[in-house]
Amino acid sequence: MKLAAAVFYGFALGLLALGLRELLTGFEENRCSMTYMFEYPEYRRVALPRRVALLYPAYGLYLYGEGLYAQETRALKLAGAPVLFLPGNAGSFKQARSLGSVALRKAESMEGGLHFNVFTVDFNEELVALYGGSLLRQTHFLHESIKAILRLYKHLKTPPQSVVLVGHSMGGVVARALYTLPRFHTDLVSLIITQASPHVAPVLALDPYLLDFYSAVRQKWVNQANKLRNVTVLSVGGGYRDYQVRSGLISLPCSSEDPNKLSLVATAVPRTWVSTDHLSIVWCKELVLATVRAFFDLIDPETRQFTDDPEKKMSVLNHHFIRHPVRMLGETKENSISFLDFPEAWSEVNTLRLTYSTPKEGQAKYFLFALSSRRKAYSHFYCRSSNLLLPSYKHLPSSSVRSLCAPQFTVECEWQRRESQTLTVPVPHVLSFGLTVSDVTVNSSGLLHTIRLQHFHQVYQAFRINIASQCKEQKGTFVLLPNVYVMNVPWFREDTFTTVSVPSVAEISGMLHTSRPDNSSHVLLLLHTAPNCQYKVTLRTSLPRVLGQILRFCGPMVPVYTAVTLLMACGGQLSYILKSGRAADMSHVVAKGLQPHKVNLPVYILHFLLSCSWFQEIWSILCLPLLDTLPPTAPDGTFPEGLVPAEEWPHMLSHLLYIFGAAVAYWGSTLLRLVIRLLSLVLAPLHRPSVSRECGTLRPQTQLLFTVCLTVIGGTTCGALSIFAAFLLHLYRVLRLQMTARSLSHMLNLAPQKQKEAENGAVVSESVRKSKECNSAGVLSECALQEVRDDLRLHLCLSALLTLPLMLIAPSFIHWIRNLRYSTQLHPDPCWPHNVPIIIVYMLLINCNTLKLRNSKLLPLTSCLPLPLAIATVTFTPLHLYRITYFLSAPLVPLALCCLL
C-alpha cells in the first residue's frame, strides 16, 4: 500500500515538475538587445517637503542623468518634458537607466533641443506583489512626487502641467491607483505606459489589503470611465518569457468603447516582435526604442511639452505599438509623391506579380498598378520587402507603390484572391497527447497564405506547429526572401512572428494568452511564403506545454488543494484515533487525503444551485461571500457578474489540480519527517535521554507566560513574528518526541517482527488494550514506546497543517524585517485578526496527546469538521489565498479544546 501510494504520487509529482519546467524554461531564448550606458549613470535626489520626508522616510525621488547632462542639471534647473519611472515588486529605482539613457542619446541626435527629464521613484524595493499593505502608501507618495516634479519647472514661461508615468509591474497598478485619491487632479497625469503590470487581478492574493486595493482601482476606472476617458493608458505584456505575470493579466479592465486604452503583448509590437521576461521588459532595447520614439512624437512643438490632445496621443501610440509603420508618422496624401513630380521614375505594372531588386546605388523607383481592371477579380493587394513586412490592402488608398528606406533591398507585390488562399485545419483534441496529428500541405502560388486553426480558442490548449518548406530551383538570379510565419489572434493583440530561411523546418508554439470571448473568430496562421514552394504544416498536442498552460493559469489552485489534502489528512487522523485509540502513520493519512468525490462533487453541486435564481436569493439573504474563481482569461479583463463563474474550464481540471496539490502535500510531509529526523539527530547530544511522552510539554504557568509574551510581541512588532515563534515551540515538542522514540527503540532493542507491527500501526481494539497486562517493565516500556510514536504521528500531522499558513504569512514577515530601520511595527498587519487565537491554539496543542484526544467528548464532532472546511476552502480561496490560513486554523480550535475537555 505504501509502495503504491509512493508510485502514484511520484508520477503526479513528475507531471507537476514537467509542467513547471515548461512554464519556467519552455520558451524562446531572449532575443532582446541590451541597452548600454555610454557614460556613468547618476541619480540626483530631489528634495521633498519636510512633511513628506518625515511621513515617508523609506521612499525617495531621483533625477536620472549621465555625463554633461548630469552636470547641467545639478542645480535642478530643468527645461525638458518630465517622465517618471515607477519600479514594481522588489524593483529598484535604478531600473530607469535604460529609458533615461536611450532618451538622452536620442535627444542628442534631435534638432531643436527637445529632451526629457527622466525621474524615478525609490519604493525601497518593497514586496508589494505579495504584501499589499504598502500599496496605498506608495500611491500617496507618488502623488507628492508628481507635485514636487512640477514645482521644478515654475521658472519656465510655459511649464508642464502634467507628468508622463512609466510603470513596471506593480508600479503600473500604483500609477492607475492615483485616480482613487480624493485630492488628486486628473490633469496631473494624462498618459500612463505600463510594462508587465497585472491590471486584471493580483498574481497571488496573500492578504486582504492587496485585493481591497485592486477593488478600489477597478471601481474607480469602471464607475467613472467617462471622467477618465481623456487619460491614455498603454499596457504592454512580456509574452511567454514572463512567467511571473502572465500576459492575460495585463489587459486593462475597462470598456471596449474607450478608444484611449490599449493592451498588447510585446511580440506584437512593430519592430520589436520579441518576448521579454519580467525584468528584461524594462531594458529590452527594441521596446525601449519604441517607447522613446513615441515620446518624441508626442511632444507639442509649440509648448515643447507632451501634448494634451487624446487623439494625437492615440495616433502616435497606434503608429509605434500597433500598426506596421508603412508610412512615417505625419505623412499624408498631400505630401506624398505624385506621378507629375518625377514622371521618368514611374513604371506601370500590368502583371499580377512584381519582383524588384534595387540597384546598389539605391535609385528611387515608383510603380503604378491599374486598379479598375483588378477590383472584381481580386480581393486584396499585398506587398512585402526584404526589410519591412507590409499589410495587405483590401481597398487600396492609392494606386502606387514606391521603394523605401534601405539603399538596397528586394520588394515583391501581387494581386490576391484571399478566399482561394485560405485553408481551414481542425486542431487535435487536447487529450490526444500528441498521438493525433493534423496536417495540411500548401503549394505556394503566391506571397501570402492563411490557415484558419479551427477549434483553437482556449488557453489550456497547446500545440507544436511544425512548418517544413522546400522550393523548386529558381531560374535566373531570383533571390528568395526570408519566410515569416505569423500566428494572429484576432481578439487580442498577442501575435507572434517567426522568421526563417527557405528551405527550412521551423517549430512554432501554438498557445494563447487569452481565451476567445465569442464565436466570431479563429486563430489564423499567416504564412508569408515564397512562390513555387511547398509548405507542410503539422499540428500535434504538446503535453508538457498543456501542463505549463494549466499551471500558468491555474497555479494558485495547487496550494488550495494542498491545504485541502492536509485538512482531509487531519480529519482522517482524528477519525483513526476515535476508532482505534491509536494514531496512524503520517504518510498513510496524507495519502488518504486525496478524496475528490467528497470535495469536488459538493462544489459542483453548489455551482449548479447558484445558477438558479431562488438559490441566489437565499445565498444573498445569508450574506455569504461570492464564490471564488480564477481570474478571467477573456481579453476584456472583466470579472464574471453575479455568483456564477463565467468560465468553467478550471473546474473541469479540478481533479488534476487536486492530484497536484495532494502530491505536494504527500512529498512535503515526507520531507518534513526527514527534516525532523535529521534535526533530532543534531540536537540529541544537547538533551538528556527521555522515556516519557510528556517530553517537550509546557507547564500551565509557562504556557500562560508564553501566550502573553507572544501576543504582546505580535501586537507591537509583527504578528507573523509571534506566530513563527509559536510554531518553533511546537516544532521543539515534535523534535523531543522524535528523540524519545529513538531512545526507547534503542533501549528496548525490539525484534524485527514487533518493529514491523509498530511501524504498520496495527489496530488494537480498546477492549483488548484494557485487558492487556502491563505489569512487567518490558511490557510497560513497549506500551510507552507505542504511546510516544502515536503522539509523534499526531504532532507530525499538526506540523504539516501548520506549515502552509506559515508560508502564506512569510511575505509580511520579510517586509517587516526589511523595514526595521524605519519602523519596528508592521502597519497594517495582515495577521492581526488571527494572531491571538493561533498563539493560544499553538500553546494548547503543545501539550496535546492521543490519550487526551480519545478520552475527549468533543473528538467525534471535531473529526467531522475537516470535510466541510475542505469544501469551503475550494469554494472561497482561489482568489483569496490568505483565507487558507483561516480554514486551516479552524479545526485546530476544537482540537485544542479536546485537550482540555
Q: What is the pLDDT of residues 67-80, one digit of tens each?
A: 889 998 998 989 99
Q: Output the pLDDT for position 363.
A: 64
Query: Which residues, 6+ apart, have CB-to-CB distance to 177 below 8 Å?
Result: 135, 136, 139, 213, 216, 217
Distance separating alpha carbons of residues 292 and 138, to the nearest angstrom: 26
What is the average per-residue pLDDT within 831-842?
90
pLDDT of 834 strictly over 90:
no
What is the average per-residue pLDDT within 83-109?
94
Query: Smallest Cα–Cα separation from 250: which of 195, 209, 179?
Result: 195
Higher pLDDT, 421 or 250: 250
Which residues in 408-556 belong to E strands, given as ranges? 410-416, 422-426, 437-443, 448-454, 463-471, 483-488, 496-500, 504-510, 523-528, 533-541
Distances in Å between the Cα of 271 and the Cα atoms of 254, 284, 332 are 28, 12, 22
What is the average per-residue pLDDT within 722-742?
93
Distance separating alpha carbons of residues 498 and 511, to the nearest angstrom: 14
Most confident of the ranges 328-332, 412-416, 717-721: 717-721
Query: Which residues, 6+ apart, have CB-to-CB distance to 440 below 8 Å?
Result: 423, 425, 451, 536, 537
Active site positions, annotated: 169
Query: Which residues, 6+ apart, have CB-to-CB distance to 26 below 8 Å?
Result: 544, 545, 548
Place of cell 495519502: 591
Q: Output the pLDDT for position 364.
A: 67
3-state SS, residue 589: helix
pLDDT of 480 strictly over 80:
no
CB-CB contact of 862 with 564 (8 Å): no
Burial class (CB in 10 A: 0-12, 13-18, 19+), 146: buried
For 435-468, the pLDDT digits (tens) are: 889 999 998 878 889 999 999 998 999 999 999 9
Distance separating alpha carbons of residues 554 and 558, to the nearest angstrom: 8
pLDDT of 766 strictly over 50:
no
pLDDT of 644 strictly over 50:
no
Q: Output the pLDDT for position 366.
A: 76
498, β-bridge pairs? 485
Pairing of strands 496-500, 523-528: unpaired
pLDDT of 18 strictly over 90:
yes
Q: Output the pLDDT for position 381.
A: 82
pLDDT of 638 strictly over 60:
no
Query: Smallest Cα–Cα separation from 786: which of 749, 751, 745, 747?
Result: 745
Q: Output the pLDDT for position 27.
A: 78
SS (H, E, C) 798-814: HHHHHHHHHHHCHHHHH
Residue 87: pLDDT band with limits 50, 70, 90: very high
CB-CB contact of 19 with 547 (8 Å): yes
The cell for 290 is: 519604441
Burial class (CB in 10 A: 0-12, 13-18, 19+), 312: middle
Ordered by start, the domain boundaries in the chain are: 32-322, 346-388+406-541, 548-626+648-748+780-900
Side-by-side strand order, sheet with 353-357: 353-357, 410-416, 380-385, 388-389
Q: Output the pLDDT for position 631.
A: 67
pLDDT of 377 strictly over 80:
no
Q: Considering the entire predicted model, what is its pTM?
A: 0.89
pLDDT of 184 strictly over 70:
yes
Q: Output the pLDDT for position 633.
A: 67
Alpha-helical runs (H) found in 749-865: 752-760, 766-771, 777-808, 810-818, 835-846, 850-854, 859-864
Residue 404: pLDDT band with limits 50, 70, 90: very low
Ramachandran class of 623: left when φ > 0, alpha when ψ lies in -120 to 50, beta otherwise? left
Q: Output the pLDDT for position 61.
A: 97
What is the average per-residue pLDDT within 568-578?
93
What is the average per-residue pLDDT within 806-835?
92
Q: Output the pLDDT for position 844.
A: 92
Q: Please count the CA atoms within 13 angstroms of the CA of 324 that sit on its side-chain side.
A: 13
311 CB neighbour count, 10 Å cutoff: 11
Residue 765: pLDDT band with limits 50, 70, 90: very low
Q: Output the pLDDT for position 701.
A: 92
Q: Output the pLDDT for position 900.
A: 81
Side-by-side strand order, sheet with 504-510: 437-443, 533-541, 463-471, 504-510
Q: Which of 49-53, 168-172, 503-507, 728-732 has the lowest mean pLDDT?
A: 503-507
437, β-bridge pairs? 540
For 519-557, the pLDDT digits (tens) are: 778 899 999 888 888 899 999 999 999 999 999 999 999
pLDDT of 774 strictly over 70:
no
Percent of the chain with pLDDT over 90: 59
Side-by-side strand order, sheet with 41-45: 41-45, 60-66, 116-122, 81-86, 164-168, 191-195, 232-237, 261-265
Triad 762, 766, 770: Cα angle to 5°: 115
Distances in Å between the Cα of 330 and the Cα atoms of 59, 357, 443, 726 are 41, 28, 40, 67
Residue 777: pLDDT band with limits 50, 70, 90: very low
Q: Output the pLDDT for position 356.
A: 79
Q: What is the second-level CATH architecture of the domain 32-322?
A: 3-Layer(aba) Sandwich (3.40)
Distance separating alpha carbons of residues 814 and 806, to the nearest angstrom: 12
CB-CB contact of 508 with 465 (8 Å): yes
What is the average per-residue pLDDT within 81-109?
94
SS (H, E, C) 307-327: CCCHHHHHHHHHHHHCCCCCC
For 121-148, the pLDDT digits (tens) are: 999 999 999 999 999 999 999 999 999 9
Query: Which residues, 6+ apart, have CB-to-CB distance to 438 below 8 Å?
Result: 425, 426, 427, 428, 538, 539, 540
Residue 407: pLDDT band with limits 50, 70, 90: low
Distance separating alpha carbons of residues 419 and 256, to the nearest angstrom: 30
Q: Output the pLDDT for position 649.
A: 63
Instruction: Compute the chain's Rg from CA coordinates.
Output: 33
Residue 768: pLDDT band with limits 50, 70, 90: very low
pLDDT of 202 strictly over 80:
yes
| Mean pLDDT of the chain, nearest integer | 86
Distance separating alpha carbons of residues 572 and 794, to the nearest angstrom: 11
The cell for 10 is: 511520484
Q: Output the pLDDT for position 888.
A: 92
Q: Which residues of 405-422 are buried (b: 16+ CB within 10 A; e: fewer)?
A: eeeebbbbbbbbeeeebe
Higher pLDDT, 670 or 477: 670
Distance separating alpha carbons of residues 548 and 17, to the nearest angstrom: 10
Q: Output the pLDDT for position 532.
A: 81
Q: Output the pLDDT for position 816.
A: 95
For 346-375, the pLDDT digits (tens) are: 777 877 888 877 766 556 677 777 776 676
pLDDT of 247 strictly over 50:
yes
Q: Which of 207-216, 327-336, 605-614 has the lowest mean pLDDT?
A: 327-336
pLDDT of 683 strictly over 60:
yes
